[in-house]
Amino acid sequence: MRRHALGNLTLSSAFQPIFSLSHRRSIGYEALLRVRDPAGKEVHPLAVLDRTVERGRWNNLERSVQLLHTSNFALMANARDRLFLNVRPDGFIVSEAYRRLVEDSIRRLELTPDRVVLEVLETPNGNFQQLIDGVASFRQLGFLIAFDDFGAGHSNIDRVWQLQPDIVKLDRRVIEQAAQSSRLARQLPRLVSLLHEAGALVVVEGVETQREALLRHPDCSILRFPNQYRS
């Protein structure tokens, strides 16, 4: 695995599997950032990603992390796996030249865009129409689009209809609450059905027990099982 130096910190990749019950195998991995200080002590990723940076430099940091993850994924994945990459909303609002650069970088690593799932992080965005247009432009290049952490923050079904993601990832608090409430457990399959009607596959985050797995809708075949990397 490749690593990247940022000042006196070392950045590396961790890959959390996304498991499909219907296929009975992992069908992809979500890339997570790991940071260590010179003594080898783990530093929370947000200490890097949320740090104040020079104006106009934020995207360079985020994109460097994405390239690190993509390079490491190309070293360890098989031909059936897909890579899930977190992207802040502003990361979709870029020029056509940059979108082509992203595509070229993916192909140089012997990957194709359809094996890369760009996750729209659930954070506020100043111009939602620009986000819609940016997401559509990346989709036209062949990238898959996921809507992350649905059920938390600013998420709502209207955003799903407008962004038209290929995959919707339910926030892990949704499954945790459904496991504790029979009323919410009955509503969960309806939510999954609604997302299916919007044309999206559904990934359930944070499934840790058999009971939580059985709460899924019968047609919700893709679930995300957390391992030691909780982020």
Residue 211 and residue 209: Cα distance in Å, rounded? 5
Residue of 14, 17, 43 whose CA lies nearest to 28: 17
Taking only the tens place, the pLDDT of each residue in 110-137 is 999 999 999 998 766 667 889 999 999 9
**Between vectors from CA 170 to CA 169 and to CA 176, what angle results, nearest 5°?**
145
Give the per-residue pLDDT at 114: 94
* R_g over Cα of the chain: 18
Give the tens place of pLDDT for each residue, 214-231: 665 555 545 555 444 333
Residues paired with 84 in a beta bridge: 30, 117
CA 159 to the chain's CA centroid: 16
Domains of the chain from N-terminus onward:
4-224 (3.20.20.450)
Helices 96-108 & 58-76 angle (0-180, nearest 10): 30
User: How many angstroms separate the CA atoms of 151 and 137, rounded?
Assistant: 26
Please provide the average confidence, as pLDDT, over all residues in the chain.
82
**Residue 155 — pLDDT band, cuts 50, 70, 90?**
low
Indicate the pTM of the whole model: 0.84
pLDDT (tens digit per residue) in 174-211: 877 877 888 887 888 888 888 988 889 888 887 766 76
Does pLDDT of 6 surpass 80?
Answer: yes
Query: 99: closest CA among 68, 137, 57, 142?
Result: 137
Q: How far lies 74's CA from each of 26, 39, 109, in Å? A: 16, 29, 6
Mean pLDDT of 98-117: 91
Asked if residue 40 has pLDDT above 90, the reply is: yes
- Looking at residue 193, what is its pLDDT? 87
Confidence band (pLDDT; 50, 70, 90) for 138?
very high
Q: Where is pLDDT greater, at 222 or 149?
A: 149
Asked whether 99 and 92 are in contact (CB, 8 A), the reply is no
Residue 58 has what pLDDT?
43
Distance from C-alpha of 170 to C-alpha of 148, rounded to nearest angstrom: 7
For residue 82, what pLDDT is reported? 94
Cα–Cα dist 4/16, whole Å: 19
Share of the chain above pLDDT 90, in %: 33
DSSP string, 33-83: EEEE-TTS-EE-THHHHTS---TT-HHHHHHHHHHHHHHHHHHH--TT-EE
**Number of DSSP helices (H) and strands (E) in the chain, helices first:** 8, 10
Distance CA 39, CA 30 (A): 27
User: For the ranges 98-107, 142-151, 203-212, which has the lowest average pLDDT?
Assistant: 203-212
